[in-house]
């Protein structure tokens, strides 16, 4: 048994890509996309025809609608390959607008449903800002399930659980990046690897808290830099992994040990916490890593969304 198959014994494996032609070889259950992944895909010759056909099929439509139709077109193709769900992201430029996020999510779901895709096969990705979490709360009440992304802080995870969101995506690799950069020449790679990786420790804390208190929100580790981070989170509800790292796992026969376990989490001694808007904002502000990585992530996704806008505008002209 290779390491990928061994991992699947404990964790649902998700592919983190817009390149739907790569998916079948890894047999993931779900797939996740984001503006950067879709932008990367549409710039490749094999995916360009899907972009062009989608834009041509809807002449005269507003740019934001065309963008959503492209995202849904990729989601439809992904769902032909994976048996589970696809995550499709709301424009990151709406990360601080609850009403606009809700409206955009509703439109994305309507597009999927018009194409014959039931809403339970789609997760709407929303940045885990306070506004995004409140949008997700409202959407979940409508039966529109959400994946809260750009999650770096424990307070974000707690607030998502309280809002009843379906799934969260804590970012392992970006947390690791921040601590490594902050440490500079003092960084000890060996001492901060595996279970001691700061990103791994963050996801472990969230998973343990959720399972201890019976919070049904699914935990999906994301943004991995190496196979070691993935294996250290074996047992997490889901892990979303790039095709490059999926290939490394598939090519390896290293044993996989379960590290996250719900029964062990229930035995942990933990204090329950809760956040309102003021205490959430203060807790996030106190976490320099989370504050910086959340802002950086929104800026990066917004920049790639703007590049995708430009590509589509040129085709629609």
Catalytic residue among 125, 181, 271, 293: 125
Angle at Cα 190 formed by Cα 189 and Cα 193, nearest 5°? 80
User: How do beta strands 238-241 and 122-127 pair?
Assistant: unpaired
Confirm if 167 and 148 have CB atoms less than 8 A apart: yes
Angle at Cα 96 formed by Cα 90 and Cα 101, nearest 5°? 35
- Helices and strands of the chain, counted as H and E runs: 14, 8
Beta bridge partners of 122: 86
| Strand, helix or coil for residue 171 | strand
Confirm if 1 and 253 have CB atoms less than 8 A apart: yes
The encoded tokens of residue 117 equal 């895709």
33: left (phi over 0), alpha (psi -120 to 50) or beta: beta
Q: Residue 313: enclosing H or E segment and its boundaries?
A: helix 288-316
| DSSP string across 76-98 | HHHHTT-SS-EEEEPPGGGTT-H
| Strand, helix or coil for residue 124 | strand
User: How do beta strands 238-241 and 146-151 pair?
Assistant: unpaired
The encoded tokens of residue 284 equal 């996030």
| Strand, helix or coil for residue 182 | helix
Residue 181: active-site member: no
Beta bridge partners of 16: 32
N-terminal to C-terminal alpha carbon distance within the chain: 52
Catalytic residues: 125
């Amino acid at each position: 048994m290779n390491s990928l198959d061994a991992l699947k014994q404990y964790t649902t494996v998700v592919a983190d890509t817009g390149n739907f032609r790569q998916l079948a070889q890894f047999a993931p259950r779900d797939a996740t996309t984001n503006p950067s992944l879709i932008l990367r895909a549409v710039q490749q010759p094999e995916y360009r025809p899907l972009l062009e056909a989608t834009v041509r099929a809807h002449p005269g439509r507003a740019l934001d609608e065309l963008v959503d139709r492209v995202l849904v077109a990729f989601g439809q193709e992904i769902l032909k390959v994976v048996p589970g769900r696809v995550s499709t992201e709301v424009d990151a430029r709406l990360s601080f607008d609850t009403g606009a996020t809700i409206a955009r999510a509703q439109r994305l779901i309507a597009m999927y449903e018009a194409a014959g895709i039931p809403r339970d096969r789609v997760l709407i990705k929303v940045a885990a800002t306070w506004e995004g979490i409140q949008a997700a709360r409202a959407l979940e009440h409508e039966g529109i399930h959400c994946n809260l992304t750009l999650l770096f802080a424990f307070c974000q995870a707690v607030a998502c659980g309280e809002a009843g969101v379906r799934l969260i995506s804590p970012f392992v690799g970006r947390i690791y990046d921040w601590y490594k950069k902050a440490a500079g020449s003092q960084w000890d790679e060996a001492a901060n690897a595996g279970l001691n990786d700061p990103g791994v420790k963050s996801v472990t804390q969230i998973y343990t808290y959720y399972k201890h208190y019976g919070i049904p929100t699914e935990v999906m580790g994301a943004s991995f830099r190496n196979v070691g981070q993935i294996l250290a989170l074996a047992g997490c509800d889901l892990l979303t992994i790039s095709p490059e790292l999926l290939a490394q796992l598939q090519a390896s026969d290293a044993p996989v040990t379960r590290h996250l376990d719900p029964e062990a989490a229930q035995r942990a001694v933990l204090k329950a916490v809760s956040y309102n808007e003021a205490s959430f904002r203060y807790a996030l502000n106190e976490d320099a890593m989370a504050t910086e990585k959340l802002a950086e992530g929104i800026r990066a996704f917004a920049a790639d969304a703007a590049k995708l806008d430009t590509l589509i505008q040129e085709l629609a002209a």
